[in-house]
Amino acid sequence: MATDACLPVDTACRWFYNRVMIEPGRVTLSDEDTITRSGPARGRERLSLELSVADAAAPESPACRTVVPSDRDALARLMLDAYRGTVDYNGETLDDALKEVGSTLSGSYGRFLFDCSFVVDGGTELSSASLVTSFNSGESGERALLAFVMTAKRHQRQGMAATLVRHSAAALRGKGYTRLELVVTTDNAPAKQLYARLGFRPVQAD
């Protein structure tokens, strides 16, 4: 069931992950199938994590740092590597990934929170990322969205994504957010397992 089916078709055609619906000045989450560029529409689920005071004490990790605007190209390469071959991949190219990351950083999914978004920086490439935005949902005010979580294939199952999401949760809690929301493709088993492990729970439509 949709939370708010309200966007023009062109903005529904999100390539990696149809998780956010946008209309001018407004971003909403939807768990309803939307039009995809290729292939059948797929189910989505909304999940939410209650942020607790304990999140604010997330441990430091040496290679972990916040995102900066110049990370755009490296984030795009990471995105392509991480998503290629998954249920959310529809044949996108590096150029597509560059546009997706660029629009994420510039606010297409809500104001990008650089200080709540983290990467594992391997020196020459980024190994993992947790990208967070803040969107205004009207009556509910500012809400935090986990827009992308991704780990390069050769670094997966090393705990990077879990660590970075915990860092994002801690940073968000420190800024006063009480919930972190996301939308996941129903068939994305690794992501769903990760989120369950982190304590995300299904939420009903608004």
Report the C-alpha gap between 145 and 165 in whole angstroms. Answer: 11
CA distance linking residue 100 with residue 76, whole number of Å: 8
Residue whose CB is less far from ligand COA, 168 or 188? 188
Query: Is 88 near ligand COA (CB under 6 A)?
Result: yes
Greatest extent of the chain over all pairs of C-alpha atoms, in Å: 43
Size of the residue set binding ligand COA (CB under 6 A):
22
Instruction: Considering the complex, state which of residue 8 and residue 37 has its C-beta at the smaller distance from ligand COA.
Output: 37
φ and ψ at residue 139, rounded to 5 degrees: -60, -35
Q: Does residue 202 bind ligand COA (CB under 6 A)?
A: no
Q: Which stretch binds ligand COA (CB under 6 A): 27-35, 63-71, 83-91, 94-102?
A: 83-91
- Is 59 or 141 the residue whose CB approaches ligand COA more closely? 59
Ramachandran area for residue 94 (φ above 0: left; ψ -120 to 50: alpha; else beta) = alpha
Q: 3-class SS at 84?
A: coil
Tokens 């995300």 label which residue?
200
Q: Measured from the CB atom, is 69 or 190 closer to ligand COA?
A: 190
Binding site for ligand COA (CB under 6 A): 82-83, 86, 88, 128, 149-151, 156-162, 184, 188, 190-191, 193-194, 197
